[in-house]
Structure 1
Amino acid sequence: MDFSTLDPMIRPRSIAIIGASDDATRIGGRPIAYMKARGFQGTIFPVNPKRPSVQDIKAFADVASLPETPDVGLIAVPGEAAIEAIEALGQKGTKAAIVFTAGFAEVDEKGAAAQARMVAAAKRHGIRMLGPNCLGLFNDAIGFYPIFSSSFEQGWPIAGRIGIASQSGAYGTHVYSLARKRGIGTGVVVTTGNEAEVALGDVLGWMAHSPDVDVICAYAEGIRDSEKFLAALDLARRNRKPIVMMKVGKSELGGAAAQSHTASIAGDDAVTDAVLNEYGVVRARNTEELLDIAYTATKRIFPVQNTLGVMTVSGGAGVLISDVAESLDFPMPAMPEAAQAKLRGFVPFCAPRNPVDCTAQAFNQIELIGEFTRSMVEEGGYTSCLGFFTQVGGSKTNAPKVRAQMKAVMKDHPDRLWALCIIASDEMVREYEADGFLIYEDPTRAVAALHAMGRFGEAFARVASAPPAAPAVTLPAKTPTEAEGKRILTAAGIPAVPERACADVDQAIAAAREFGFPVVMKILSPDILHKSEIGGVLLDVNSLDAVREGFSTLLRRAGEKAPTAHIEGVLVAKQIKGATEMALGILRDPVFGPVAMVGLGGIFIEVLKDVAFRRCPFGEAEAEQMIRSLKGFPLLDGARGRPKADVAALAKALANLSAFAAAAGPRLAGVDINPLLVLPEGEGAYAADAVLEITP
């Protein structure tokens, strides 16, 4: 996918401003004033039929009168005139447009129809169009400011290589303003408005390929074009450019998924979470964390196996840091015993395990900071190094000594992440940062940001396994019975428990004799998807008499609880003992398509919601990662003397299910396999119950 088509919009040599104003405080006037102030080296063509000049720049009556074709047109005129401006730019040969004008799809159906006409005009002329109803963008590296935000009245951007892509104009510039206030450089900001043509994925893709952007911040409310979005995330990962995203709002899974347990368990945005995790995008919980992570990522150090070493003058802070690291699964291995013994030789009452607490003795022997830190890095081998020095690091008497001690160690180990928690003046913080240190006041924020660098590193190093070959899938015309559904899944590589569909009691008795007791009996109907809810499942059926009685009981319950359902008989299956119950599922997300789920089976899946999701298709390695991410994984891994379950068979079934869902197409609305019985290691995994939901 070619994201460079946004170059004329974000890195232009010339711009036409339709609706240009001589008033530098108006929407059509601010961009000109900003570009003059920031020294835009390109050509500015104000378009205003009522004035010979705008802000001391020669103006033109219309686009057709322009002496040359501008790279981009900025549209700040209302209603129908905005659509006419797109047409005029297209006839002039312009290939990009930024539309401030509001009153389109965000308002009502009439506005949506007008927006559709605007998009049609843009596409007819090959124009990449940002907006409408957008705040605009800026690219400070070239002084380009087609934006009407008032945030620049408080100051211009700090030079830097962080890009901000935001669906909200106001919030995008809010993030920029907070970054500037914290001294963080954001060189380019793009807001997308209604995303009638250019979507968030386009902007992320442009930043992922831009040589001027190293780190990407994103604010998203919803994803409009999943193909572009996923291509952009993939490009950023391949180019080792971290994306930290605030994703707000809730995704609708669609009416067809209402009957699916898998879909209901997915909740508000579990699918979005899974997609972001797949590409190594770190999701920020708030703006503060968004900026913390982006700031830390500017160091461009992304450890694949990230470990945290902590040097502290406070035992209490060490406990706090350890708690936060444990909650994030951020490893803090202990220092080697020999190194601990050496440090006790310096200070017998120190705590050298990790966190390494040199105690307040550092006030008397400032060189202890250097000795302890060097030992922590060289003998502990940590990839992320956090020093907690609080006011000590900010005091006029001690700060120069602390800086000198820490700089000496950092100079010898530039491949590590170096962060300090200090309370200091802004001027002193800048001095530390100039040395190369990341500075935080709150150690919990520092730990979260350092942990994110390891998540990026793992994503950049990850090599996906090949998904299973796509099977040939022919779906039935409507939702099948359980027996037919399992037959389809078995053909796709998800084996089922031995079973037989029985139209009468004699067939049920023959099936029970063949499988041996005990057996399971279930009502068989395409209209009853969740049989246990009507008493349609009988376990531990142990005799021929019990089979006869069970057959009659199931038919009676179906008649009472689902009188309109079409009944095809009873399913008799071999009852398997000693298995771990798991659940597999497929839901069809309206944005990202088929998504697979794995979790603990039986009733636990809806009670505990211990599940993992991933977009289909994927290979067995990714399937096993999903399984191992479950909190209940120890149940499969031999916890409390249980035999280890056949995780390999479970992973294979999950990967095969993902390939089946991807090949089945949009008529496959959902799949629920619960339980999937996972036998001890080497004995396989078998679907005991399955529902396929088919869109007619």
Structure 2
Amino acid sequence: MHPLFHPRAIAVYGASSDPTKIGGRPLDFLKGCGFDGPLYPINPKAPVIQGLPSFATVSAVPGPVDLAIVAVPAPAVLPALEDCAAKGVGAAVVLSSGFAEVGGVGAEWQQGITALARRSGMRVVGPNCMGVINVRRRIVGTFTPSATGFGLVPGRISLVSQSGAFGGYCLSLIRQRGLGLNLWVTTGNQSDVDFADCVSHFAQDEGTQVIVGYIEAATDKDRLIAALDLARENGKRIVVMKVGSSEAGAQAAASHTASLAGSDQVYDGLFRQYGVYRARSIDELFDVAYACSLPTPVPKGRRLGLLTVSGGVGALMADVAAECGLDVAPMPEDAQRRLKVILPFCGPRNPVDMTAQLVNDLSLFEKNFELMLEEGGYDLIVAFLSSVGQVLDLSSALLLQLQKVLARFPDRTVIMSMLASPEVRKVYEAAGVMLFDEPTRAVRAAQALVYFAQEAQRARTRAAPPDLPGTALAPPRRAVNEVEAKAVLASAGIPAVRELVAATEDAAARCAAQIGYPVVLKIASADIAHKSEIGGVLVGLQDEAQVRAAFGTLLQRARQHAPQARIDGMVVAQMAGKGVETILGVVRDPVFGAVIMFGLGGVFVEAFKDVAFRVAPFGVDEARAMIDEVKGRILLTGLRGQPPSDEAALADAIAALSVYAARHEAALESIDINPFVVLPRGQGALALDALIMPRPKG
């Protein structure tokens, strides 16, 4: 990938003397921006293009060429790339369109490009892309009008976009906001270089601190995961906008897990798993990138102080902070009294309201800040100063006070929100203070910084996936009843209730006596996925008479509601203790393979789809993160006098399931463990029902 972003010499295939055309713009940009290496226009129709000697082919260029920018009609692209490969060109950017995006022969041409890249080792970006930029090297290999006049500031943000138009739009936003940019690339049809390749390169680039990405779909699971993992290991922060959702991988109606898993949810789980921040809007995408690109301290916690000149805005910020999961803890009582002494009509709790009196007494700024940091112990402070930033003298005086505070508390993160002139913004940012016009965006940026800090800590301590027991059974090759399914899962470390299958009424009575009353009776059939829907489960049976009666009742219901189903008899199972019902599952995603699902049982899954996903395998800490994500997890903490649940046993089971699913990914279509009852702390957890769907042959 090095020749793509750091070429010493560049050739432009299809170069035009007209700088407004696709073949003319890259050459014009490269000349105008001051690229310090040789430029070679390639066009057999003109001896000189834009004042530079032109060559019929790149093979005719007298010196070496590292990067070729290709802007010729689609039929001529592959011959041009073959010429580049013969020359030993390290990388090529194909701006031309008319390939897989239009189908037909275009798709065949793109296959040829992929084959050539693999054969020659030349890296190819595109086709149908916008190109590449390296701001520090003043390389602008693109035709997007967004690059006109350059105007880009070197910085620590690198951007990769699958969409060329979106990448161009982002470039305009970066210039408009004055953000510091390092590398920029759009991948287009991804015949060779894809999103993951670029993330991997950025992860190893010393000039990149923040990776901004726009992704529509992954092309290679292993490459993407490796790239995200590398970025995390190297301390890079990734902010991604993922668009598009699909029902692919959610067609198995008999599986709760499959019906709940959409590809978008799987991406969401993957991003959480690897510490990627998923932005839900373009503003958020660049707000977070901006916040992460400045050399501000890493928050040590999520305790947020809010300082304001407006009580109304303070309340608004507090609402958003609560929504973001930040801790807007009140100031200590003694500190509140001291604030009242400084300004009797202030709001001292948190938000701390300095009121408009700040304009009359600028010392309030420093005094309030110091009290909040020293007495309140806040990890971050967001300060709203209305339009103070439009007055240079006033804002400069406040900055001097702020710098004294930051010198005293160098480990705290401070975010300012105020309307500011460009001059004031530059002064504040030069001092390492981030500045937002809109206060709620400042709060959300604070939440993103906390997220990255927590993820960095989690990355340092994350546990490896557990070992799969040597006695673990392989998945069944055909549909099996729940007893057989739970036996397979138990062998993999997922505990299940004690149970037996009885083919006759007499056998059921003997099994119940062996297990001990009370017991549960369920229809044993691989053909009936959800027994409760046909009344196929009877609980709390207290004696032999009830077991015999239940056997006949369930057999009649099976014949009535599922006459074609094969009935193996009845499952006689122990009555599990009272606990919280959850659901564990596995679904085979078309891109990411085995994906694990966790959710609370009942209405939380059925109505709210309150579930979390992760790509298998992973360790218990990732399992705990899944548990924390679901909104219904409060049920596990113990409500209305109920004891707390055994979350450790639950996390162990989720991690064990992930390892088993990853090992047998090729043989599994889905697994449902529903319900998986989590007993009180110290008593474990048990699978009460299970369904394993083997992957169809072929």
Same-fold call, TM > 0.5? yes
Partner of 2:447: 451
Q: Distance in 2 between matches of 1:604 and 1:241?
A: 35
Partner of 2:689: 689
Q: Distance in 1 between matches of 2:535 and 2:439?
A: 55
Contact 1:596–1:613 under 8 Å retained in 2:
yes
Partner of 1:331: 327
Partner of 2:361: 365
Q: Distance in 1 between matches of 2:628 and 2:152?
A: 44
Q: Distance in 2 between matches of 1:211 and 1:114?
A: 36
SS at match of 1:394: coil
- Compared CA separation, residues 410 and 60, structure 1 to 2 (3 A): same
When structure 1 is superposed on structure 2, of 300-309 and 13-22 the one drifting more is 300-309
Matches within 5 A, 1:485-524: 485-524=485-524
Instruction: Give the aligned residue type for 1:102.
Output: S
Matches within 5 A, 1:252-651: 252-254=247-249, 257-267=252-262, 269-300=264-295, 301-395=297-391, 398-462=394-458, 463-471=461-469, 472-651=472-651
The answer as to 2:95 corresponding to 1:100 is yes
Q: CA RMSD in A?
A: 1.9
Contact 1:310–1:356 under 8 Å retained in 2:
yes
Q: Distance in 2 between matches of 1:34 and 1:541?
A: 81
Contact 2:473–2:491 under 8 Å retained in 1:
no
Compute the TM-score of the two structures, normalised by the length of structure 1.
Answer: 0.95
Partner of 1:3: none
Contact 1:304–1:461 under 8 Å retained in 2:
no
Residue 336 of structure 1: CA displacement? 2.9
Q: Distance in 2 between matches of 1:154 and 1:54?
A: 20
SS at match of 1:659: helix
Partner of 1:146: 141
Q: Distance in 1 between matches of 2:350 and 2:32?
A: 52
Residue 396 of structure 1: CA displacement? 5.5
SS at match of 1:245: strand
Partner of 2:53: 58
Contact 1:253–1:263 under 8 Å retained in 2:
no
Contact 1:165–1:218 under 8 Å retained in 2:
yes
Q: Distance in 1 between matches of 2:560 and 2:64?
A: 76
Residue 608 of structure 1: CA displacement? 3.0
* 1:194 aligned to which of 189, 198, 210: 189
Partner of 1:204: 199
SS at match of 2:509: helix
Partner of 1:25: 20
Q: Distance in 1 between matches of 2:588 and 2:477?
A: 18
Q: Distance in 1 between matches of 2:294 and 2:330?
A: 26
Q: Distance in 1 between matches of 2:59 and 2:391?
A: 65
- Compared CA separation, residues 217 and 500, structure 1 to 2 (3 A): same
The answer as to 2:651 corresponding to 1:655 is no
Residue 21 of structure 1: CA displacement? 1.2
Q: Distance in 1 between matches of 2:497 and 2:104?
A: 53
Residue 257 of structure 1: CA displacement? 3.9
- Compared CA separation, residues 658 and 304, structure 1 to 2 (3 A): farther
Q: Distance in 2 between matches of 1:576 and 1:383?
A: 45
* 2:239 aligned to which of 233, 239, 244: 244
Q: Distance in 2 between matches of 1:432 and 1:494?
A: 55
SS at match of 2:506: helix
Q: Distance in 2 between matches of 1:598 and 1:285?
A: 23
* 2:111 aligned to which of 113, 116, 121: 116
Instruction: Give the aligned residue type for 1:499.
Output: E
- Compared CA separation, residues 127 and 259, structure 1 to 2 (3 A): farther
Residue 153 of structure 1: CA displacement? 3.0
* CA displacement 1:20-78 (0-9 Å, x = unmatched): 11111111111000000011112212111111121111111112212233112222112
When structure 1 is superposed on structure 2, of 625-634 and 640-649 the one drifting more is 625-634
Contact 2:210–2:289 under 8 Å retained in 1:
yes
Instruction: Give the aligned residue type for 1:326.
Output: A
Contact 1:176–1:186 under 8 Å retained in 2:
no
Q: Distance in 2 between matches of 1:534 and 1:442?
A: 56
* CA displacement 1:488-509 (0-9 Å, x = unmatched): 0010111211111122222112
Partner of 2:230: 235
Residue 164 of structure 1: CA displacement? 1.0
Q: Distance in 1 between matches of 2:639 and 2:147?
A: 59
Q: Distance in 1 between matches of 2:57 and 2:184?
A: 29
Contact 1:167–1:191 under 8 Å retained in 2:
yes
SS at match of 1:104: coil
Q: Distance in 1 between matches of 2:23 and 2:94?
A: 11
Instruction: Give the aligned residue type for 2:325.
Output: D
* CA displacement 1:559-582 (0-9 Å, x = unmatched): 332233222222111122422211
Q: Distance in 2 between matches of 1:202 and 1:14?
A: 22
The answer as to 2:78 corresponding to 1:83 is yes
Q: Distance in 1 between matches of 2:667 and 2:457?
A: 36
Instruction: Give the aligned residue type for 1:360.
Output: A
Contact 1:222–1:251 under 8 Å retained in 2:
no
Residue 293 of structure 1: CA displacement? 0.7
Instruction: Give the aligned residue type for 2:573.
Output: A
Unaligned runs of 5+ in 2: none
Q: Distance in 2 between matches of 1:695 and 1:18?
A: 48
* 1:133 aligned to which of 114, 128, 133: 128
Instruction: Give the aligned residue type for 2:672.
Output: D
Residue 453 of structure 1: CA displacement? 0.6
Instruction: Give the aligned residue type for 2:439.
Output: P
SS at match of 2:64: coil
Instruction: Give the aligned residue type for 1:645.
Output: S
Instruction: Give the aligned residue type for 1:199.
Output: D
Contact 1:473–1:660 under 8 Å retained in 2:
no
Q: Distance in 1 between matches of 2:654 and 2:41?
A: 59
Residue 221 of structure 1: CA displacement? 0.9
Contact 2:596–2:615 under 8 Å retained in 1:
yes
SS at match of 2:444: helix
Identity, in percent, stands at 45
The number of equivalent residue pairs is: 691
* CA displacement 1:140-175 (0-9 Å, x = unmatched): 211212211111236532222211110001101101
